[in-house]
Structure 1
Amino acid sequence: MRDYKKYEVWKKAHELNMFIYLTLLPKFPKSEQFDLMSQTKRASYSLPLNIVEGCGRNTEVDFARFLDQALGSAHELEYCCLMCRDLSYVDEQLYQQTNTIINEVKAMLIGLIKTLRK
């Protein structure tokens, strides 16, 4: 079994999740509490959770599959943030800041997945 806390990609995904919770979600209007806010939360915490769950698996194939799921969550989160910007819940600067972190996590996930599948 792997120690998820030793993976830089998990650290970055956790940082992203905290950023979403502490910086982005408070900008949402109350009317989005059960819709876009809820979906954004799920995509955000699903990312590090899938890395953690994958670390608990015994094979590289299983680990890579959970990393694929984390990558899917990163794409979902990316779109949620785009919607937030386009709905004017967040300004362009916060959107760009968030998108930069998401892209960093995506790149790290892709790199680790490629390494595992060699």
Structure 2
Amino acid sequence: MSDSMIEESAKGTGVEKDIADSIVSEFCLQLHKRLYEYRGLNGDYIGEELCNDISGQAFYHVLGFLDKFSERYNWEEGSATEYLLRLGSRGEWRPFEHQTTGWKSGQEQP
């Protein structure tokens, strides 16, 4: 069986697995939050902010992921919830709900 992405990231960066896991988890939380709250000039978080928030290499691969994701999946609103419930119970995901408390949608802000 191959290593998980966390294990590969830990090996690739020379840090302990728990440190790599913490960094990846925090990055994903920040990415989710910033996209959710972003208003900006045109509402284009990826082109207006993300490109400056992360390295060129990370930006290239995030966009590559999104491009391939778009090609393979035809997601609609609610698809993520469907995956979460298919892959675990509400109780398994509930510990992370508090992390989104207080976020203000950039789409809802004047």
TM-score (norm 2): 0.28
Q: If you compute each CA radius of gyration, which structure gives the higher value, 1 or 2?
A: 2
Structure number having the greater helix percentage: 1
